Amino acid sequence: MRPIWEMSRSVIIFTDLDGTLLSHTDYSYGDLKQILRDLKADKDQYIVIPCTSKTELEVVEFGKKIGLNGPYIVENGGKIIPADTGLFATFRDQSAVTVWQIRELLDSFPSRIRKSLRCFHEMSVTEIARLTGLGDIDAANAKNRKHSVVFVLGKEDDVLVEIEDLLKNTNYKITKGGRFFHLIGKRDKAKAAQQLIQWGLDKGLHSKFEVWAFGDAPNDLSLLKLADKSAIIKNCEVSQQELISLLPFAYISKKRAPEGWHESLEVLKSSV
Ligand SMILES: [Mg+2]
């Protein structure tokens, strides 16, 4: 591979997975392997970095299937996994919060509130598989969280406000993905992405590069905001009105994932 500084343009693409790169309903990824091969052969340098609520186990497994080898941003920014090779291979994430710290916080909530949360770590693999539509192995990987707690709420409107109140002045926050709530440290996809960008710059990534971001849900907002170009992938199953109104320059795909990802890629490639 040519050194990155000899390329005509470098583009770092941060992309959400569920509902963005993968179908919201059946997790299919269409022609992605070929699309990534085409990007590798392009005159420009593209670095595709999954940025997702999924766990390290899930994402590394997925990367192997489609031909990516990192880096990855997992658990909604909770942890950055270095690449196997290349610029990001020696990156080490020093500031991740552990799941044990988050569980301790959860268990300190008043019992009425604590009881209204049903967390992945309290569910069986079968129950997670039923809720997510994942197979048993993927559901077990989804349960294996090290830097966040995923939960569902019985009556989300009233309790959620109380939980957010409890989290004020702490180093934790709640973010909502397509289907579930995530309790994480005060990091998000954007903060993790910025860490990687800064690392890349320090390690020789030339300053003439672009950042693109693709997402479909409220937990992608901060990531989409920091990008030079962004795309919102159509997903009728999640509320996208806020995203669309806060990101007036984002491309909004006509198709859903996975086709909408490719459609958006082509539009961003052709835009100046
Ligand atoms: Mg998503």
Mean pLDDT of all residues in the chain? 91
* Per-residue pLDDT reduced to its tens digit, 201-210: 898 877 778 9
CATH no. for 4-94+188-270:
3.40.50.1000
pLDDT at 250: 97
The closest alpha carbon to 118, from 145, 160, 165, 150, belongs to 150
Per cent of the chain over pLDDT 90 is: 76
* Per-residue pLDDT reduced to its tens digit, 208-225: 789 999 999 988 999 999
pLDDT at 265: 98
The Cβ of residue 153 has, within 10 Å, a number of other Cβ atoms equal to: 16
236 CA → ligand 1 middle, Å: 12
269 CA → ligand 1 middle, Å: 22
64 CA → ligand 1 middle, Å: 20
- Strand 148-153 and strand 181-185: the pairing is antiparallel
205 CA → ligand 1 middle, Å: 28
Confidence category of residue 157, pLDDT binned at 50, 70, 90:
low
Q: Looking at the predicted structure, is the pLDDT value of residue 77 above 60? A: yes
Q: 232 or 171: whose pLDDT is higher? A: 232
Query: Across residues 147-160, what is the average pLDDT?
Result: 84
191 CA → ligand 1 middle, Å: 17
Q: Looking at the predicted structure, is the pLDDT value of residue 179 above 90? A: no
104 CA → ligand 1 middle, Å: 27
106 CA → ligand 1 middle, Å: 24
178 CA → ligand 1 middle, Å: 5
159 CA → ligand 1 middle, Å: 23
42 CA → ligand 1 middle, Å: 27
Q: 76 or 251: whose pLDDT is higher? A: 251
136 CA → ligand 1 middle, Å: 21
Confidence category of residue 155, pLDDT binned at 50, 70, 90:
low
Which residues of the chain form CATH 3.40.50.1000? 4-94+188-270
3 CA → ligand 1 middle, Å: 33
Q: What CATH architecture does domain 99-185 belong to?
A: 2-Layer Sandwich (3.30)
66 CA → ligand 1 middle, Å: 18
* Per-residue pLDDT reduced to its tens digit, 57-71: 999 999 999 999 999
Per cent of the chain over pLDDT 70 is: 96
pLDDT at 102: 95
Q: Which range among 5-19, 97-111, 214-228 shows the weakest confidence by mean pLDDT? A: 5-19
Which residues of the chain form CATH 3.30.980.20? 99-185
262 CA → ligand 1 middle, Å: 15
51 CA → ligand 1 middle, Å: 10
Distance CA 44, CA 38 (A): 11
Token couple for 33: 């392997």
Q: Looking at the predicted structure, is the pLDDT value of residue 172 above 80? A: yes
